[in-house]
Amino acid sequence: MDKKIPLSVVVITKNEQDNIEKCLQSVHGWADEIVIVDDMSTDKTVEIAQKFADKIFERRMDIEGIHRNWSYSQARNEWVLSLDADEFVTEELKQEISKVLEANTKFSAFSIPLRNFIGDYWVRYSGWYPAGKLRLFKKSKFHYEEVEVHPKVFLDGETGHLTKDIVHKGYPDFEHFLASLNRQTTLEAKKWINTGRQMSFGKAFWRTIDRFFRSLFGKRAYKDGFVGFMIAYFASLYQIISYAKYWQMKRERKK
C-alpha cells in the first residue's frame, strides 16, 4: 500500500518491549499517524516505539476509562484504530479498513474480530472468537465510561462490523493468564466498592457456578479441549475472587 490512509493508530503501553515492535510494524507505512501513550515503562518499550511512532506521550495510568479517552484525544485524525501492544493488524484487515474509510461510511464505529491466543493455541470457541470489539471509531462519537475496569462504551451513531482479524497474543502461558486474572479481580472489587454496589456471597457463588457452565457449554469452551476447560474455570474464578477481595476491602474500610 503506497498511500497512507487518514487514520490514527493509538497504542497504550507499559513494559511491552517483547511485543511493541511487531504491533507497530503491522501499521507502519499504512496509517497516517501512530500515537503511543506509555504508562511509565521501565524497559525498552519507548526506545523501540521511537522507530515507528509519530507521537509518544508518557502518562501514568490512573482510571482506565479516563486514560483511554485522554489517549484517543491526542490523535489528529477523526478515525482512530485502538490497538494493544500485544496485538497486530493482518494484511486482510488493513485492506478492509482502507476500503471502509474510502467509502465515506455511514457508521460511527466498527467492531473487529480478535483472534486470541494462549501460547501458540488459537482459541476458536469459548466465546473468544469471533467476539468482535469496537476498535475502529470516530473519536468525536466515541468515549469510554470513566471507571477502572471493563469500562462501558458510549457511541453516538451506528456500529458496523468488519470480518478480518486483529491477532491478539495476550497470554504467552497460563501463568500470565492467572496474573491478568489477579489484576482484573482487584480492579473489579475496587469498582464495586467505589460505586457502592452491594454484593453478597450468595450472588457471587451463584455467578461462579453459572459462569463455569455457561462458558463450558453455552459458549462451547469444551470444543477447545483442556484450554477451553481452563478458560471456563478461570471465568468462574473471576466472580468468587472478585467477591473475596471486595469482602476484604469492606472490612478494611470499616476499621
Q: pLDDT category, 1, cuts 50, 70, 90?
A: very low
Rounded Cα–Cα distance for residues 97 and 92 (Å): 9
Q: pLDDT category, 148, cuts 50, 70, 90?
A: confident
Rounded mean pLDDT, 157-180: 96
What are the grid coordinates assigned to 9, written together? Answer: 493508530
Q: What is the CA radius of gyration of the chain?
A: 19
Cis check: omega of the bond before 130, within 30 degrees of 0: yes
Q: Looking at this protein, which amino acid is placed at residue 209?
A: I
* CA distances in angstroms from 229 to 77, 125, 192, 212, 222, listed in the order given: 42, 11, 28, 9, 6
Rounded Cα–Cα distance for residues 255 and 89 (Å): 49
Residue ranges per domain, the chain? 5-171, 174-254
DSSP string, 45-58: HHHHHTTT-SEEEE
Report the pLDDT value the prediction gives residue 2, as an integer from 0 to 100. 60
Rounded mean pLDDT, 7-17: 97
Single pTM value for the model: 0.90
Please choose, from the candidates 3, 56, 60, the residue with its C-alpha nearest in 3D space to the C-alpha of residue 30: 3
Give the pLDDT confidence of 215-228 residue by residue, as tens digits: 999 999 999 999 99
Rounded Cα–Cα distance for residues 189 and 199 (Å): 10
Question: Which CATH architecture is the domain 5-171 placed in?
Answer: Alpha-Beta Complex (3.90)
Give the pLDDT confidence of 183-216 residue by residue, as tens digits: 999 999 998 998 889 999 999 999 999 999 999 9
With H, G, I as helix, E, B as strand and everything else as coil, classify residue 246.
Answer: helix
- Residue 131 DSSP label: -
**What is the sign of the dihedral through the CA atoms of 239, 240, 241 and 243?**
positive
Give the pLDDT confidence of 60-102 residue by residue, as tens digits: 998 899 999 999 999 999 999 999 999 999 999 999 999 999 9
Give the pLDDT confidence of 151-165 residue by residue, as tens digits: 899 999 999 999 999
Report the pLDDT value the prediction gives residue 255, as an integer from 0 to 100. 77
Give 10's strand partners: 35, 82
